[in-house]
Amino acid sequence: MPDEKQAMTIAEMQRTVDEYIGQFKEGYFSPLALMARLTEEAGELAREVNHYYGEKPKRKDEAENTIDMELADCLFILVCFANSLNINLEKAFHAMMHKFNTRDKDRWTKIDTE
């Protein structure tokens, strides 16, 4: 397992999560439960974003979380989701970027680099 200060590939991330989940009899949640967990974590992320950038301050008794940690929670669930369905996230990520770089290549205004 790579140490926590080293850069990690998506494959290593998937392996790390699989080793972690593999310790427990419960294993991965079902796709529907993972979908619910992802929605929970997206809500927690939204709460932090609203706290830092929005109009809704936290109550004094609310836990101090960070956007970083909530993004990482979402990432963990996404990796669990992929692992539970035997999806290679690195391959899927490359396919997604290929789509952006081909189908959507003229969609956004390029920064003039000359």
In the complex, the smallest distance separating the C-beta of residue 41 from Mg ion, rounded to whole angstroms, is 5
The closest of 25, 22, 63, 68 to 49, measured between CA atoms, is 68
Residues that bind Mg ion (CB under 5 A): 41, 44, 70, 73
Start-end of H helices in 5-66: 10-21, 31-53
The nearer residue to Mg ion, 41 or 84, going by C-beta atoms, is 41
Our CB check for Mg ion shows the closer of 78 and 88 to be 78
Q: How far apart are CA 38 and CA 35, in angstroms?
A: 5
Nearest approach, Cβ of 7 to Mg ion (angstroms)?
A: 24
- As a whole number of Å, the end-to-end CA separation of the chain is 43
Residue 17 or 70: the one with the smaller Cβ distance to Mg ion is 70
Distances (CA, A) of 3 to 20, 38, 39: 14, 26, 29
Supply the minimum distance, in Å, between the C-beta of residue 71 and Mg ion. 9
Residue nearest to Mg ion (CB): 73
- Kindly state the smallest distance separating residue 92's Cβ from Mg ion, in Å: 23
